[in-house]
Structure formats: structure tokens, C-alpha cells
Structure 1
Amino acid sequence: MSGPDPLSVLAADAAALRASSRKQRTPPPPPENEPQLYEKRRGVYPQKVQGPFRRFKWLVMFVTLGIYYITPWIRWDRGPYAPDQAVLVDLAHRRFYMFGIEIWPHEFYFVAGMLIMAGIGLFLVTSAVGRAWCGYSCPQTVWTDLFQHVDRLIDGDRNAQIRLANGPWTAEKIAKRAVKWTIYLVISFWTGGAWIMYFADAPTLTRDFWAGDAAPVAYATVAILTATTFTLGGFMREQVCIYMCPWPRIQTAMLDEKSLIVTYKDWRGEPRGSVKKAAKDPGAFGDCIDCNQCVAVCPTGIDIREGPQIGCITCALCIDACDRVMGEIGRPRGLIDYATLDDCKREAAGETPRPAWKTLLRPRTIVYFLAWCGIGLGLLFLLGARTRTDISVAPDRNPPFMLLSDGSVRNAYTIKLRNMESRPRDMAITIDGVRGAMMWTDEMDRADAARSLTLTVPADATQPLRLYVVAPRDTPAQAITFAVRSLDERGERDSSETRFEAPEVNP
């Protein structure tokens, strides 16, 4: 016994989709004489689709969510004096730890460099493959995609969601909404809870959080992030991409006719006609059968056949849907495809489009890539060349010097010794310049003053010192250098030059 004709089933589905899409895209008529400041939101109910781009989105979603939720729980041994959390923003001690890298406040240029690399990386991706960041890796896209899968799990696929949304508030609808929104809330709470784990030891903060002993800012942060994730991912979705996000407006300056974007090949698809019409009049219609599958699967609800739009996030799910339909009706795939505008013109004229690698290797993308690599290599060089010992000196300004009873001149300085190792270290401070000068600290007697002092600096800490330098009578004002050397196998050195102030010496 033969089953139903697949073309008949496809035609019936296409008719239902066109009817539902028209119903969603047609806003209700405004009341007479009442101005409309904005268009009412149209519900977007993406249909489930399978294909290589959908699988890639699954992969990206699993990887990015896995990194976000799991990273705070990864341990990293830095010794007994430093935290063992692999990635930690330690605001209390002004440190940023990322596996074997530790960034101090005076090394903020590393953070600035990474932010610049992220910006140039966005420029590179946009100029090469359009809004691929928006379509796959943007947090709004990832969480929206996750919430849309929750919709399908509870409400069913596209048609079931539309029927439920347009139907009355029955007991079944209330129950499904309650279950779905509860799952939204749990995901949102996990999202906010995972965020605060990056700023304190994750196991300790989790225990304190549930015991009610965490800082108030932790509860406030979780509440805010829970509310924003619940609202933006659960209910605003494509509105964030189209209306709230500035990136779609900025990226247009980086797109040109040589950028790969998701494109509908209208010269091949138009005029549109059903399979039956095309069979009756061969050659009168294009390959597009107006099945609306590309619209049905779009997470922002746009029609890619209308050309490039700000609502297109380049997720390429419409390519998966269109290729499946083309395969079912025996027509060539690629009616909707990644292509440049230049290649579209070539293909429309009967020429062969360029290979993808030639499209990517062009001056703009090469410049972006070289700049990105250059900054990255520069940061790696600085990271490898930096020392773990540092000294900074600030002289007293009021008074700049003091004359002692024996005629000698004394200056006072605030010294900061920085030990960036996860162990205490002995360090030697010496002075260079100012002949006959001697120094001592608040914790020493002046009788023990010397030109070199040895101090122990705690692990992973900055040690402030009050240092006094005295020079013989008639010593003129001049430069003085404080040098520090670690007394361990590293033997690291650093120095800081400042002024030794003294009264003018009469000739």
C-alpha cells in the first residue's frame, strides 16, 4: 500500500505555512484617527530544522555554555599562597587569574590588549563571513536558541506553538506556560549564579550563597542577571537583535560586495511557483516553490528572499531548510547560500564563482588578521618578558627635605616592593647615586642605616615601606635610583629613579 505523495504533503505544508506567516506578518488595523508610534511585535516561532549549519549551532551552543558554566569550577594549583581557581577575577586583592597567567592592576595593558584583539576579531569575522558572531556565538543568540528548544520540548514544533499562542487560556495552556516559564527561570538563575562564581572561590561562594552568608552584592547580581536573562532570552529575543543591539548598525561599515553573507539567488528562484505550476509550464518559473520554509526556520522571523536585512543574523538555518526542499523536489541545492554580491553577479551572468578561500584571502581580511596576530604576539612577548619583581618610589613633597642637627640632609620616601611570585621572597634594596647616603626604615634604628637593605616580601603581595635617606652636609639636590634584586634563583631586578632634594649649596 503506497503512502501519500511527498510533493502533495510538501504543498499542503507550504500552504499552511504561508497562511500562518501571513497571519503573523499582517498587523491588526489601527483604530481610526489613532496614531501608531510603533508596530506591534509579531510572534516568531522557528520551525525545527536539520542540516550542517544546525549541527554547527548545536556544537557552538554546547561549547560556549559548557565553558560558561563549568570554567569557575576548574582548579589550578598555584601554590599555598594563591587561589586555586583556574579563572578568577579577585576584586578584593585586585588580581585576574587565568590558568597560569596572573594579571596585576599595573598590568592592565594586557586586559586592554585582549579587548582590542576581541574587537579586531569581530571586524575580521564580519568582513569575511558577515554576522557569523551574531548567528552562532553571541550570548543573546545562544540563550535564545536554548530557550527555543525549551519551547519545542514543552509546546511542540512551530504549528503547535502558533495554535497554543492563538488559543484561549485553557488548563492545558496554563500548565504548559507554567512549566516552560519555570524552566526559563531555572536556566536564568543558573546563568546569574554562574557569573558571580568568576569573582570568588566557586565552592565557597556556593556554600555561603545557599546558607545566606554571601555578600549582598552577590544576591543582587544574581537577581539582576536572572531577570535580564529571563526577559531577553525568553520574551524579547529577536527584538534585542533588531532594535536594541548596536552591532548590526556598526557592522554595515565592514561589509562590502566581497563579504560572504547568506544570500537568496533571486535570478535562479524567481518567479516563484509551486511544483505543480512548474510541471504544467516548464521554464516559466524559477526554483523557488514559495514553500516559506526559509521563513519558518528563521529565529528572527525575516524573509531572506527580500534581500539583506538588519534582522538577518547569518545563522544559515534557511540554507539548511532550502537545501532540504531542493533535494526533495530534485532541484539543485544552493538557492539560498553563503555567497558574495560579486559572486552572485558572476553566477547570474553564467560565470563560475570564485572558491571560498579566494573570497576570504583579500586585502581587508588579511590586514585585520595581521593586526590581530601582531597584537597577540606582542602580548605573548610582554607576558614572557615581564619580571615578577617590581619597585615604585614616591618621595615626600611636604616637606621635600629636612636638615638634621648635625647638618646632614634627610629625605623620606614611600617604597612599594611587589612580589608577583606565589611564595615569600627575600629582596635587597640598594641606592645608586648621592655619595655617602645611607637609608633605613621605620622599623630600624638609624644606627643600622646602610646603602643596602634586605627585606622579606610576602607571597603575591605588595609591601609598602617608609624609607629614609640621609646624606652628608652640603650634598646638592640630584637624581637618586632605588634598585631591588630578588635573592633567589631568578635574581630578578628592577629600579626606579627619583630626586634627592637638598638646600642650595652656596659656592
Structure 2
Amino acid sequence: MNSPNNRPDDWSAFTKVKTERADPLYESAKTVHNKRIDGPFRRFKWLVMLVTLGIYYGTPWIRWDRGPYAPDQAVLIDLANRRFYMFNIEIWPHEFYFVAGLLIMAGIGLFLVTSAVGRAWCGYACPQTVWTDLFQHVDRFVDGDRNARVRMEAAPWTIAKLSRRVFKYMIYLVIGFWTGGAWIMYFADAPTLTVDFWTGQAAMAAYITVAILTLTTVVLGGFMREQVCVYMCPWPRIQTAMMDEKSLLVTYKDWRGEPRGSVKKAQKNPGEFGDCIDCMQCVQVCPTGIDIREGPQIGCITCALCIDACDKVMADIGRPRGLIDYATLEDCEAEQAGQPARPAWKALMRPRTFAYTLIWGAIGLGLLFALGVRSHADISVAADRNPPFMLMSDGSVRNSYTIKLRNMESQPRRMEVALSGLPGGRMWTETISNDDAAPSQTFEVPADQTLSTRVYVMAPAGTEAQEFTLDLTTLDEQRESDSAATKFDAPGDN
């Protein structure tokens, strides 16, 4: 039998083929140096960035008067007391369905935006996009516009380049630090936490959270940037299922732009070239570095900056705007066939958009209705099971219960609890003598708290096991009420 060592030619051929087929699994990351551009979409991005960052950084400092018994921070996630405050709304743990409803509205809102205008969320309001845009502006502030940044990156390391890098990365760290610092302000009183943080008195969790968020903000927004959108984010893969030929997309109209040629070539050869002069402005302004002329692709976040750039070039050379524009695939086919371009707003007027809007609005109205009719006081009861009842010397029967009275107002409230459905029944508590037992008792419930107390209920001799209720009524002008059903155990109960 021949050994592989006896066939050197075959072995060398095999290794050569293997080497030639070893293609890289991914493309090496290339730094994107996008160019400054002005236009309606760029100005809209400025507006969205300023509004979203202003809301994020400024909201914890807004005060809201809820009275002397509740925190005065407008938006607060109070984990210690298990409360969520948002201006005049207070959400308790048992009302988590409000949070679930808001999350559902957010999801349907994303479906609505995606089906109507593609990845507009990604292009304008996604936190990754907003912070990436902010860091790119920092790059321009420190290193200059695109050409200057390209030269800086290619230049050898000198004292000047090192000092610029240190200065820029320090700004990165400041942005990341304030991002993490703003986040923890949502979980405690902002002014108090700020003082505690800088004096070293805050909880260790606060420092760890700020450190983690500082790191992630700098890494994701300052360095990874478009790679998060292309490789890490699942949303571009999911949203394709919600888009069709009627969805508005940023589109390059190739039938109008091709073949490409400079202005001089077009003047020398009339009718042979399209409107695209291959100036590369659409590529240079793109924050993810794609070429929109290659068609729809996962790197396009629909920010429409390429539209601003192309419209500016078309205006400079005297050609009509819209070579790159928001358009549906249906409209593109119609326009290519010679029909006039349809306004973008008309593409939004379709059944799917209305359906998503109606569902989104219905959920919102349902949540508002639930907020408007909810009671700010309720009662729950749990019977003691060891023992289930006690037989007294006079033949009467006593049961024990633990009741919880919830006061969801920011002021103390007096509440009356009365027996219903238990003839001859009386009740008292550990702080009330059984000589003062009565069919009803009054409790003082602190503001924004739940009062838990042990209650004894006694019924006359001969009372059989039966169901009854404890009825709660607030003794104020609101006169809110609630009831809780439970069982009274007695001898002979099976």
C-alpha cells in the first residue's frame, strides 16, 4: 500500500487548494468618516437628537408636587418601595399590566413606523443611532470634516495626533459618564443621589452601574457604531417581515441615474448618460458607509442624509431633485414606466397603516380608561389555617385572618372594614379589645402604603361554615370601596 509520503505532488496540490479556498468569514471593519451635510433630513436628525437627549438627561431633574407624603421627582422608579411614578401617574406592583400595555404600544408603534417608512426608527430615534451621531459630531469638532479625519487617521503618530486623540477620547468618556449618571437618577431622588455620589455615600450599585454604562456607551457609540446596526442588532432582520412593495424606502432611481457620467461627459454626449454624476456624495455622508446606489441593504438605516446630499448636487448642476428619494417599489415601477411621481404622504394612506394606528390608539385609550376608573384603595384577605377555627367557652366560633388595606393616595386615609354575609358576626384586631368587637372597624392607613393587620372574626354558637365578605369603604369625599371574599370555618365543616 502506498503511503502519503510517497505522493508529495498530490499533498502539495491539496494544501494549495485548501489555502486558496480559505476565504475570510467576515470583512475587516473599516472606519466610516461621514461628511457634514445640511438639508431638511439632517436638520430633522438634529431636532430628534436634541429632543431625545434633552428628555433623557433632563427628565430626572423635573419636579412634581405630589404632596408631603410622596416623592417630588416627576419620573421615578422607586425599587425600594416598589413604585413607578410618572408625573401624575403612580403604578403599583399589582398594576404591572399598565407597563405591559405601554410595552405593547411601543412594539406596535415600531410595526407602524416600519411598515410605513421602513427603518425610520433606526435612522432617527434609536439610542444607538442618537449616540453614534453625537460621537460623530465630536469627531468633526476635534478632527475636522471628512477629508481632515481621513488624513488624520492615515498620518503617523505624532505629539499633535496623540494629543487630539486623548482630547477626543476624554470627551467620549465625559459623554459616557453622563449617560450612565443620568440613568441612575431615574432610580433615586436626583439631587440627593448626586450629592451622595460625589461625596462617596451612594450605594456601590450606583458606581458599578455608572461604570458599566460609561464603558458600553463609549464602546458601542464611540467605536463600534455602525457595526452594532449591521451585525449585532436583530431588528433589521425582523423588520423585513413587516415591509412590502408599498413601504416607503430610501431608494436610488437607477433608471434615471444610469449610466453614470460626469457633467462634462453628459454635455459632450447628450442623451447617453443619466443624472448620476458619480460624485460619491451620497456615500460620503452616509453614517454607515454604504452605497445606496447598490440597492436596499442591511446597512441602510433610512436616515435619508443621502437624499440631502443628492438633492444639493442636483440643484448645483441644474437637474431635478429626487434621484435618491423616499419611494415605494410600486411607485418606482410606475415612475419608470413614465407615470408622474406620487407624493410620499399618499403612500402612507393604506389599510395596513390605518390598522396599526387603530390598534395602537385603542390600546392607548384602554390604558387611559383603566387609569381613570381604577380605585385608589383596595383590600385583600388571607385566612389563618393553623388552626382553622377556635371554639370559645360560650360556644361561639372564632376565625383569624390577615387583611391588607392598600392606600394608593399621597395622604393618610381612614378606611372602614365591615362584615357582610355573616349573621351576628363581629370583628376586632390585636390592638382592639374583644369587648369592643363590632360588625365593622375603622383603620388609619398611612399615605401611599399598605397596612397589614391581624383580624379576629367571631360568630354566634351554631354558625355553620359559609362564605362572607369584608367590605372596605374610605371615609373621605371620594368614598371609594372594595371587597374581598373569604370563608368562615366552623365545627362540622367537611
- TM range, smaller chain: over 0.9
Matches within 5 A, 1:385-400: 385-400=373-388
Matches within 5 A, 1:122-201: 122-201=110-189
Report the CA distance between 1:437 and its aligned residue: 1.1
Tell me the equivalent position of 2:78: 90
Contact 1:72 1:86 in 2 (8 A): yes
Cα distance between partner residues in 2 of 1:34 and 1:127: 40
Where 2:442 maps in the other structure, the secondary structure is strand
Cα distance between partner residues in 1 of 2:216 and 2:180: 9
Q: Does 1:445 align with 2:433?
A: yes
Q: Choose from 45, 51, 63 the match for 1:63.
A: 51
Matches within 5 A, 1:43-442: 43-442=31-430
Instruction: Tell me the amino acid that sits aligned with residue 330 of structure 2.
Output: D
Which stretch has the larger CA shift, 458-467 or 469-478?
469-478
Where 1:232 maps in the other structure, the secondary structure is helix
Q: Percent identity?
A: 73
Cα distance between partner residues in 1 of 2:140 and 2:238: 33
Contact 1:475 1:505 in 2 (8 A): no
Cα distance between partner residues in 2 of 1:47 and 1:375: 42
Q: Does 1:500 align with 2:463?
A: no
Cα distance between partner residues in 2 of 1:259 and 1:130: 6
Instruction: Tell me the amino acid that sits aligned with residue 316 of structure 2.
Output: E
Q: Deviations over 1:370-400 (max 9, x none)?
A: 0000000001001111111111111123332
Report the CA distance between 1:445 and its aligned residue: 1.2
Cα distance between partner residues in 2 of 1:398 and 1:266: 81
Contact 2:185 2:193 in 1 (8 A): yes
Cα distance between partner residues in 2 of 1:270 and 1:188: 44
Report the CA distance between 1:32 and its aligned residue: 6.8
Instruction: Tell me the amino acid that sits aligned with residue 424 of structure 2.
Output: G
Where 2:69 maps in the other structure, the secondary structure is coil
Cα distance between partner residues in 1 of 2:139 and 2:375: 53
Cα distance between partner residues in 1 of 2:39 and 2:139: 20
Which stretch has the larger CA shift, 456-465 or 348-357?
348-357
Contact 2:326 2:344 in 1 (8 A): no
Which stretch has the larger CA shift, 467-476 or 201-210?
467-476
Q: Deviations over 1:86-110 (max 9, x none)?
A: 1100111111111111111111111
Where 2:107 maps in the other structure, the secondary structure is helix
Report the CA distance between 1:434 and its aligned residue: 1.4
Cα distance between partner residues in 2 of 1:37 and 1:333: 40
Cα distance between partner residues in 1 of 2:345 and 2:52: 27
Distance 1:359 1:120, change over 3 A: same
Q: How many residues align?
A: 476
Where 2:431 maps in the other structure, the secondary structure is coil
Cα distance between partner residues in 1 of 2:218 and 2:400: 57
Cα distance between partner residues in 1 of 2:284 and 2:380: 63
Cα distance between partner residues in 2 of 1:35 and 1:330: 46
Instruction: Tell me the amino acid that sits aligned with residue 274 of structure 2.
Output: G
Cα distance between partner residues in 2 of 1:476 and 1:200: 52
Cα distance between partner residues in 2 of 1:391 and 1:37: 62
Unaligned 5+ segments in structure 1 are 1-30
Cα distance between partner residues in 2 of 1:450 and 1:354: 77
Contact 1:94 1:104 in 2 (8 A): yes
Instruction: Tell me the amino acid that sits aligned with residue 460 of structure 1.
Output: D
Distance 1:62 1:468, change over 3 A: same
Cα distance between partner residues in 1 of 2:344 and 2:151: 42
Tell me the equivalent position of 1:15: none
Cα distance between partner residues in 2 of 1:356 and 1:294: 20
Tell me the equivalent position of 2:3: none
Q: Deviations over 1:284-337 (max 9, x none)?
A: 111001111000000001110011111100000000000000111111100000
Cα distance between partner residues in 2 of 1:228 and 1:348: 46
Distance 1:317 1:469, change over 3 A: same
Instruction: Tell me the amino acid that sits aligned with residue 91 of structure 2.
Output: I
Query: What is the Cα-based RMSD across aligned positions, in Å?
Result: 1.3
Q: Does 1:458 align with 2:446?
A: yes
Contact 1:474 1:505 in 2 (8 A): no
TM-score by length of 2: 0.95
Q: Choose from 9, 12, 27 the match for 1:39.
A: 27
Where 1:434 maps in the other structure, the secondary structure is coil
Where 1:301 maps in the other structure, the secondary structure is coil
Distance 1:340 1:449, change over 3 A: same
Q: Does 1:482 align with 2:470?
A: yes
Report the CA distance between 1:35 and its aligned residue: 5.2
